[in-house]
Structure 1
Amino acid sequence: MGAVVPRVEPKMIEPWPEISRRTLLTTPVFTLGERLRCHPTSGAAHPFYVLETGSWVNIIPITEAGEVVFVRQYRHGTGQVHLEIPGGLVDAGEEPEKAAVRELLEETGYAGEVAYLGEVHSNPAILNNTTYSYVVRNARRVAVPELDATEEIEVVTHPLTAVPDLIRTRVITHALVICAFHHLGLLAG
């Protein structure tokens, strides 16, 4: 028989009051900020570092034939080519759904019927943004992709039914892409 573990009463977690904030670095993609915050119980001041960036969108385009339209591209953070779904930054003042439609068209030349899937905080420990996921059904090629000067993308398709194996075998490793497929699975039942 195991030892009895005493019951721990739930604690109300409070926001940490902000004492000050300052910008340490500004780049075209993010701002690194330092937030001095006060521990709500001890009163001690602690610095925290936040990457402030715009929100992102991810799009799962599915053709009438049940193929997912993916993009393959080199990612400088890992130094590897990744299989991902189309996505990108939400422009200032832009609605996430409009950004999803725009990014899909720019990266792949595809369009279709867009629907919201869900959203996640990309990494709330250090990032202040949200990633919104959408599905585009009946996706079809309607234009030639218009890539940014810093993009080189290969558009490829895989059957939707192959996605679990692509994740399991680590062909797809991008966490936010996996979250989008999780949202799609939750809506499917």
Structure 2
Amino acid sequence: MSEWTIYGARTVYSSPWVELDLVDLQPPGQARYEHHLIKLAPVAATVLHNDRGEVLLMWRHRFATDTWNWEIPSGIVEDGETLSEAAAREVLEETGYQVAATALEPLAYNQPIGGMCNAEHTVFLARDPVRVADPVDTHEADRIEWFPLTAVQQMIDDRQIVAGVAVTGLLQLLARR
């Protein structure tokens, strides 16, 4: 199978967070047509793991799916930031824990909706973070709690953890134990 031919694209909508394009393309051996493409900034996320074998999770509501679930700190990489700098910033803003960007270990990378979106999620591992302040982004979570890593698989099975970036990072940590 060969690559699809792209003849051009036009932006239908654009904001600082998302862009929607219609791409004029042709799959091999198929008719030419317009396909939608959602463009998003890269996301950096972090699994925080302590010396007691626990992970830090944030209980939050997602309006788009009307879902409550446990998540890991994550957010959009801002202009001029490296992935690890963004991950460390998001941890501090969302949880009040501090981690050094240089101490973060790459844990997982995925493209969650590759057929229609350029989204890229990079997940890091932070060991033994230090609580230095209250979270700045208080709208990010109703509660922040430590859970035994041994409980995570059941939480995923019970749909208590459903966010793709969290599931990816936590399952990767479980696989590496």
TM-score (norm 1): 0.85
Q: Which residue of 2 aligns with 1:30?
A: 18
Q: Report how many residues are paired.
A: 174
Cross-structure match for 1:184: 173
* Identical positions, percent: 26
2:32 corresponds to which residue? 45
Q: Deviations over 1:3-45 (max 9, x none)?
A: xxxxxxxxxx221111110001113320111101022224x21
- Computed over aligned residues only, the root mean square deviation of the Cα atoms, in angstroms, reads 1.7
In 1, are the aligned partners of 2:49 and 2:127 still within 8 Å (CA)?
yes
Q: CA deviation at 1:152?
A: 4.5
- Three-state SS of the structure 2 residue aligned to 1:32 is strand
Q: Which residues of structure 2 form unaligned runs of 5+?
A: none
Q: Does 1:137 align with 2:124?
A: no
CA distance in 1, matches of 2:151, 2:76: 27
Distance 2:136 2:148 in 1: 25
Q: Distance in 1 between matches of 2:80 and 2:29?
A: 38
Tell me which moved more, 49-58 or 138-147.
Answer: 138-147
Using structure 2 for the length normalisation, give the TM-score: 0.90
- The higher radius of gyration belongs to 1
Equivalent-residue separation in structure 1 for 2:78 and 2:116 (angstroms): 21
Q: Runs in 1 of length 4+ with deviation above 3 angstroms?
A: 150-153
- Once the two structures are superposed, residues 116-170 of structure 1 have per-residue CA deviations (whole angstroms, 9 ceiling, x without a partner) of 112001210111021001111012212221117x645421111111111111222
Q: 1:161 to 1:152 in 2, by over 3 A?
A: closer
- Unaligned stretches of 5+ residues in structure 1: 1-12
Structure 1 residue aligned with 2:9, among 15, 21, 44? Answer: 21
